[in-house]
Amino acid sequence: MDKNAHIYVAGHRGLVGSALVRALERQGHERILHRTSRELDLRDALAVREFFDKEQVDYVFLAAAKVGGIGANYDYPADFIRDNLLIQTNVIEAAYRTGVRKLMFLGSTCIYPKMAPQPLREDSLLTGTLEPTNEPYAIAKIAGIKMCQAYNRQFGTRFISVMPTNLYGPNDNFDIESSHVLPALIRKFHDAKRDRAPYVTLWGTGTPRREFLHVDDMADACLFLMDRYEDSDIVNIGWGEDIPIAGLAELVKSIVGYEGEIRYDSNRPDGTPRKLVDVSKLSGLGWKASIPLEAGLRETYSWYVRHSAEAPELTGLQGRLG
């Protein structure tokens, strides 16, 4: 991507989008386009077409999505499949119609079958049943992948798709009701420490294993692939190692400085037993993550403490679609 290119980051205020903006700015890109969800509702096809017609976009990072943890996916399945299908369809179609040079679609490792062999290889897609707790979201993301592949085959576009593992870092969603596991843990232990609560209750058994990647590593990988990767096949982005939820909880507890007890509610769902991605394809292309989990968590907690005091709305759903 040349420095004068018009680069649209869809979802620039969310965890992923804001990291992409930071990475692009570090590389010297100055013509970075973004809009909040109030300025541009990506679910509105006409508004999206008008935006692309006006701005003459060269490159697109499609990071805008409706996202959430187990609770949010369980309570609002229609919202998750509808909004994500609309966002993806409108942006991909507009990118094709206006001759965008290249588009990157950001998916999720939830696209893989619940019981797929570990670590998750890219060719595991559509080989089994999905995890029920986030199936509507996963189906929307699979549709986005297939849409990019179909446009490449039929129209000769350069649309690529990447599947990041669980991400964390600055600008995450720390809302207890809708966040993913790691920011939810940070918020729970922080609030428990503040309130001097004797214990914290977590969903499930603590036995599922999860992989976590700092979002700045993810953004670096995305820019690397945007410059070097041209295939329609998906690419995993991850750290390559995982940790039990119970071990993660103990690590977050220690970083936050909470001294109470951890209890597990086994009546609540665990989700997928394990989600570790195979990163051999990305490693073979020449990229590897560099931010260790504990160091990244300490930096993320420091960010949360600073910004939650200055702007409490950052713990909610601000910027998830914008």
Q: Which residues are catalytic?
A: 137
13 is in an annotated binding site: yes
15 is in an annotated binding site: yes
Note every long-range contact of 202-205, with CB atoms under 8 Å and residues 24 or more positions apart, other chains counting. 202/245, 202/249, 202/262, 202/263, 202/264, 202/265, 203/70, 203/264, 203/265, 203/268, 203/269, 203/270, 204/245, 204/264, 204/265, 204/266, 204/268, 204/269, 204/270, 204/271, 205/264, 205/266, 205/270
190 is in an annotated binding site: no
119 is in an annotated binding site: no
16 is in an annotated binding site: yes
Helix ranges (H only) for the chain are 15-26, 45-55, 70-75, 77-97, 135-155, 181-195, 215-228, 245-256, 280-285, 293-310
14 is in an annotated binding site: yes
Helix (H, G, I), strand (E, B) or coil at 62: strand
Query: Could you tell me the two tokens for 3?
Result: 């420095």
298 is in an annotated binding site: no
67 is in an annotated binding site: no
287 is in an annotated binding site: no
288 is in an annotated binding site: no
Q: Which residues are annotated as a binding site?
A: 11-17, 106-109, 141, 164-167, 180, 188, 203, 210, 270
Q: Which residues are annotated as a binding site for substrate?
A: 188, 203, 210, 270
Q: Which residues are annotated as a binding site for NADP(+)?
A: 11-17, 106-109, 141, 164-167, 180
